[in-house]
Amino acid sequence: MKSKQPCLHPGKLGLVLGAMLVATLTGCVTYVDRAQPGEVYVAPPVQVVVEDDYVYYPNYEIYYSSSRHQYAYRDGRNWVSRPAPRGVSVDVLFASPSVRMNFHDSPAQHHAAVAKQYPKNWSPPAQKQTERKEDRKDDQHDQHGDNHGR
- Which phi and psi angles does 70 have, rounded to 5°? -135, 150
**CA atoms of 125 and 108, how far apart (whole Å):** 26
**More confidently predicted of 136 and 150:** 136
**What angle is formed at CA 77 by the lines to CA 74 and CA 81, rounded to 5 degrees?**
35
Residue 148 has pLDDT above 50, yes or no: no
pLDDT digits (tens, 9 = 90+) for 115-125: 999 999 898 88
Q: 84-88, 95-99, 133-137: which range is least confident on average?
A: 133-137
Residue of higher predicted confidence among 61 and 132:
61
Its pTM stands at 0.53
Cα-trace Rg, the chain:
33
Three-state secondary structure of 55-117: EEECCCCEEEECCCCEEEEEECCEEEEECCCCCCCHHHHHHCCCEECCCCCCHHHCHHHHHHH
22-47 burial code (b ≥16 CB/10 A, e <16): eeeeeeeeeeeeeeeeeeeeeeeeee
At position 131, the amino acid (one-letter code) is E
